[in-house]
Amino acid sequence: MNSLFPSIVSRSQSSGLMNFFVPIISIVLTLITGSIIFILLGFDPVYALYTFFISPISSTYGISELFVKATPLALIAIGLSYCFKNNIYNIGAEGQLTMGAIFGGGIGILFHDTNAFWLLPLMIFAGAIGGALWGLIPAILKTKFNTNEILTSLMLVYVALFILDYLVVGPWKDPFGYSFPKSRPFSESGRMPLLFDGLRVHFGLIITLFLIFVSWFIFSKTIFGFQLKVSGYSPKAARYAGFNQTTLVFFAFAICGAFAGIAGLAEVSGPIGLLYRDISPNYGFTAIIVAFLGRLHPIGIIFASLVIALTYLGAEDAQLFLQIPSAVGFIFQGLVLFYLLGAELLINYKLTYKKLL
Amino acid sequence: MSDTILNIENITKSFPRVVANKKVTFDIKKNAVHAILGENGAGKSTLVKILYGLLEPDEGNIKLNNKDFKVNSPAEARKQGIGMVFQHFSLFDSLSVKENLILGIDEKMSYSDLEDKLENISSRYNLPLDLDAPITALSAGEKQRVEIVRILLQDPQILIMDEPTSVLTPQEVESLFVTLNALVKEGRTILYITHKLEEVISICDTVTIMRSGEIIDTSSTSNQTAKTLATNMLGQKLDDLKTNYGHIKDEVNFEVKNISCDFNDPFLTDLKNISFQVRVGEIYGIAGVAGNGQSELMDILTGENINIKSGSITFDSKKIEKYGPQKRRDLSISFVPENRLGHSAVPELSLSENILLSQFPKNNFIKNGIILKNNVDDFANNVINEFNVITPGNDAKASSLSGGNLQKYVIGREISSKPKILIISHPTWGIDAGAEHSIRESLIELSQNGTSIIVISQDLDELIEITHKISVIYDGKLSKPFRTNEVEIEKLGLLMGGKNE
């Protein structure tokens, strides 16, 4: 007789092929589960899935929107992979994004009536610095006081959001804004150039692709990328090799923060054009799913960011055409993560039923 | 009076590549402290794990009170009257003593019943406990008391203690012995697993000596001395030595002087005043039973731990005790720690990538921060060919290699850079005989070409085969060195068991 509940046993060897298929399997299972949810809600699943996943990108405008959403997701996710490869669980990218928007946007507000070529580069630089500084706080706490970076980086998200809140209702409020909680608009030269007339996709996409390429180079060709990887796989081996793990933690957090900060700045100087309360629909958190769905690999992250960006667009269309709350988008994101983690577990472990006597 | 409680008959248990128990047969008498003595890897742990339901034997029977005894889990073993106190505690640090005890009980029991029972056990067996104290606040000895009380709540007939004194202070050891005596007086039986000769003689009635998975002898401790126990534990070691001293230069190039280090951790051994010298071309062996400070010493020799309390390390007349691993490699010092998977190699990375863990100045692996992949691959291929590493290629993951092949690869990586000194821990631990032989050969050859070598190992045969000088580490103290071709095995055995004359 076998026991009722299986026990989890480590596999001696995990399959490399399955490793590659994990993201695809997760997406397929998500679609199946999604269909079941739609059926239970009383919708025709084919029509619902079409509304959710196909109709949003059946126009040029829709595809442009897909890239608008995918840009911050991919940029933050590639930044997060510096941390995750090093086994650092920075989940505070949303806060680093917000700080980047504050620093870069602050420059934009300061020079709101200046039109000069240097303004946007300066804002991008300030955004990177803001994000990096915010990312360094959990790095210092972790290396000096051994605090858990999951908690500190998460808590700092709310601190950053409150700072932004304070600024846009207080000192940075638009004097001509009828008391709305928003800042002055940035000047024209403080805005991300649009790539195509009439579409919202902007120069941030180019920056993102460039930084993804740079990261690919760092991960695969440099000793720094190698050190991050070793220290993530085995801190003991990194110590044996003589790699300075404190420095690695600092760099990982600073780079991740800088990338998230640039993403934040790109949002406010791109589609938004000023600072206000809700600059990000949780891009910083969703990017965690993107990073893992993309297996922390630059190419994987590009595809994953498109898939997850689609859930944002799909949720909007579902609200419009099916009258379902847009939170269904988060359900899909959650399902992807759930199946991803589950499949990951089953790659390395198997379920066995113990024999009872 | 003293009839048998447990008959162990022909127990055999094999693992891949090693037979841990070979037809183990002996009886344990009721109402006594029965010791199982042996070196690391002698098969003691396997045997008690079988008794406690953690492992299933391949063959053989066990009888408890003349009835067949077969258990599949520790819970069943406890039900049948066998309890075990492990070397490493399994307590919830943030919970109180009482809460931990409640969690450990298999059957239902009311709070007041439990308190009465605890009161009784505490006073009867000299096990005072503060029930409301959190586990974190307790010393190692107090934690062990909690473990013992937890087992006693189930009223076991047989209590297995695995190396119980390894984490205790001398005072705590005294008090543990009082408890054990009280338990035996009541008619219980203690199975005492140890490698410490002195303890066997002072508190055990009977001793079973194991070596390489086999029973060497079971007899009353009154017939034994520390010397006879040591000889039986270690066996007859090779004495026709081919060690060649001719090439050693009379020039010390590595000197450790009065190194002391405190860890404030019951599971680490403090190092006490360690000194030794290694001459050019000499192989210096450090023997000892596991857990006597070897890994702590290794970390200090490699520079992975530079927080020493006092003392110095001198290499080629430079003080290097504050140097990290890379700075030491820059001076041509090379090291191979004990653990291959996750320390000297990263299992998830390819063989080529694993080369980069250990870089010496003359390796041309990196330029301006960029990895020169061709040079690394060439180096990896060279190691693979020269040291007969069996693998599909340099892009194979380290985890895909057998233990012996990976060890050959790691040692090959270190030797290929022709270091001035190689510091190596347990070079042939857990690998097959073929790889073992080839590794020992390459170490001997390396020393003949002028490299000094320090070998830390629990395998006394190995040290006697390859070293020129040998000393013993026990409880964080290093004995004086002996010339390997002159030392008596018995002498080393006594030192390993903590008996200094």
- Tell me: do B71 and B177 sit in the same domain: yes
Which residues does chain A have within 8 Å of residue B343's beta carbon, measured at their own beta carbons?
Answer: 234, 236-237, 240
The band of B236, judged by pLDDT with boundaries at 50, 70 and 90, is: low
What mean pLDDT is predicted for residues B481-490?
Answer: 87
Shared domain check, B70 and B20: yes
Average confidence (pLDDT) over B349-356: 95
The least confident of A73-82, A315-324, B347-356 is A315-324
User: Is residue B25 a contact partner of residue B9, using CB atoms and an 8 Å limit?
Assistant: yes
Flag whether pLDDT at B234 surpasses 80.
no
User: Is pLDDT above 80 for B266?
Assistant: no
Residue B240: band (very low, low, confident or very high) from pLDDT cuts 50, 70, 90: very low
Q: What tokens were used for B252? A: 């010390």
Among B172, B202, B234, the domain boundary falls at: B234
**pLDDT band of B227, cuts 50, 70, 90:** confident
Q: Is the pLDDT of residue B354 over 70?
A: yes
Nearest C-alpha neighbor of B308 from the set B275, B364, B262, B354: B262
Q: How far apart are alpha carbons B284 and A354 in whole angstroms?
A: 49
* A226 inside domain: no
Residues B425 and B404 in one domain: no
Instruction: Provide, as residue numbers in chain A, all residues whose Cβ is less than 8 Å from the Cβ of B303.
Output: 242
**pLDDT of the residue at B125:** 86
Together in a domain, B120 and B54: yes
Please give the pLDDT value at position B429. 79
Q: B262 versus B194: which is more confidently predicted? A: B262
Q: What is the mean pLDDT of chain B?
A: 88
In a domain, A336, yes or no: no
Does residue B337 belong to the interface with chain A, where contact is any CB pair within 8 Å? yes
Q: Considering only residues 348 to 367 of chain B, which have any Cβ-Cβ distance to chain A shorter than 8 Å?
A: 348-349, 353, 356-358, 366
Considering the domain boundaries, does residue A2 fall inside one? Answer: no
Contact A241 B358 (CB under 8 A): yes
Q: Which has the minimum average pLDDT: A239-253, B213-227, B422-436? A: B422-436
**Is the Cβ pair A237, B303 closer than 8 Å?**
no
- With CA atoms as reference, report the closest residue to B280 among B239, B251, B308, B300: B251
Q: Count Cβ atoms below 10 Å from residue B444 Cβ, excluding itself.
A: 17
Q: Per the structure block, which two tokens stand in for B92?
A: 């919830």
Overall number of domains in chain B: 3
Q: What is the mean pLDDT of residues A54-67?
A: 93
Inter-chain contact A240–B371, Cβ cutoff 8 Å? no
- Distance set, CA A149 to CA A84, A113, A224, B96, B351 (Å): 12, 40, 21, 28, 32
The pLDDT of residue B235: 73
* B339: contact with A, CB 8 A cutoff: yes
Tell me the average pLDDT across B159-167: 85
The reply to whether B394 and B276 lie within a common domain is no
Element (H, E) at A330: helix A328-348
Domain termination site, one of B179, B214, B234: B234
The range of the structural domain enclosing residue B45 comes to 4-234
Residues B82 and B26 occupy one common structural domain: yes
pLDDT at residue B239, rounded to an integer: 44
Q: Are residues B202 and B271 both part of a single domain?
A: no
Dmax over CA atoms of chain A, in Å, equals 82
ipTM above 0.85, yes or no: no
**Same domain flag for B40 and B146:** yes
Q: Closest approach of chain A CAs to the CA of B358, in angstroms? A: 6
In a domain, A279, yes or no: yes
Whether the predicted pLDDT of B290 surpasses 50? yes
Highest mean pLDDT among A114-128, B35-49, B68-82, B258-272: A114-128
The pLDDT of B25-33, averaged and rounded, is 91
Residue B419 or A3, more confident: B419
For position A357, what pLDDT does the model report?
A: 46
Q: How large a percentage of chain B has pLDDT more than 70? A: 96
How many domains are contained in chain A? 1
CA distance A233 to chain B (A): 7
Query: Which of A222, A233, A242 is facing B346, going by the closest CB pair?
Result: A233
The per-residue pLDDT for A93 is: 97
Please name the member of A221, A240, A242 whose beta carbon is closest to the beta carbon of B371: A221
**What's residue B88's pLDDT?**
77
Stretch A139-149: mean pLDDT: 95
Residue B11 has pLDDT above 50, yes or no: yes
pLDDT digits (tens, 9 = 90+) for B37-84: 887 678 888 899 999 988 889 999 999 988 888 888 888 898 889 999
Are B471 and B378 contained in the same domain? Answer: no
Is B237's pLDDT higher than 70? Answer: no
Q: From the list B324, B337, B348, which residue is nearest A242 (CB)?
A: B324
Category of A244 on φ-ψ map: left (φ > 0), alpha (ψ -120 to 50) or beta? beta
What residues of chain A lie within 8 A of the CB of B350, using their CB? none
Q: Quick one: tokens of B490?
A: 């018995």
Do residues B144 and B290 share a domain?
no
DSSP B317-384: TEE-TT--HHHHHHTTEEEE-S-TBTTTB-TTSBHHHHHTTS--TT---EETTEE-HHHHHHHHHHHH
Q: Final residue of a domain: which of B366, B389, B417?
A: B417
In the prediction, which pLDDT does B390 show? 85
One-letter amino acid at A55 equals S
CA–CA distance, B369 with B375 (Å, rounded to integer): 14
The residue range of the domain holding A261 is: 61-217+247-295
Q: In 10 A of CB A314, how many CB atoms?
A: 25
Which residue in the set B327, B348, B370 is minimally distant from A222, CB to CB? B370
Does pLDDT of A12 surpass 80? no
Q: Tell me which residue of A235, A224, A225, A254 sits closest to A87, measured CA to CA.
A: A235
Q: What is the pLDDT of residue A262?
A: 98
pLDDT score of B238: 44
pLDDT of residue B1: 41
Going by pLDDT thresholds of 50, 70 and 90, the confidence category of residue B15 is confident
Whether B406 shows a pLDDT value over 50: the answer reads: yes
Q: Using the beta-carbon criterion (under 8 Å), do A237 and B344 form an inter-chain contact? A: yes
Q: Answer yes or no: is A325 within a domain.
A: no
The chain A residue lying nearest B366, using CA atoms, is A223
- Domain harbouring B315, CATH code: 3.40.50.300
Q: Are residues B223 and B103 in the same domain?
A: yes
B114: buried, middle or exposed (CB in 10 Å: 19+, 13-18, 0-12)?
A: middle
Residue B367 vs residue B458, higher pLDDT: B367
Tell me: the pLDDT tens digits for B173-213? 888 999 999 999 988 999 999 878 888 888 999 999 988 88
Shared domain check, B435 and B457: yes
pLDDT of residue B242: 60
> What's the average model confidence in pLDDT over B255-279?
92
Asked if residue A196 belongs to a domain, the reply is: yes
Per residue in A264-282, pLDDT (tens digit) is 999 999 989 999 988 999 9
Q: What is the pLDDT of residue A76?
A: 98
Mean pLDDT of B128-141: 84
Size of interface A-B (CB pairs under 8 A): 61
Q: Does A224 touch chain B (CB under 8 A)?
A: yes
Q: Which residues pair with B413 in a beta bridge?
A: none
Q: How confident is the model at residue B241 (pLDDT cuts 50, 70, 90)?
A: very low
Q: Phi and psi for B44 in degrees, rounded to 5?
A: -65, -50
Give the residue from chain A lying closest to B358, CA to CA.
A241
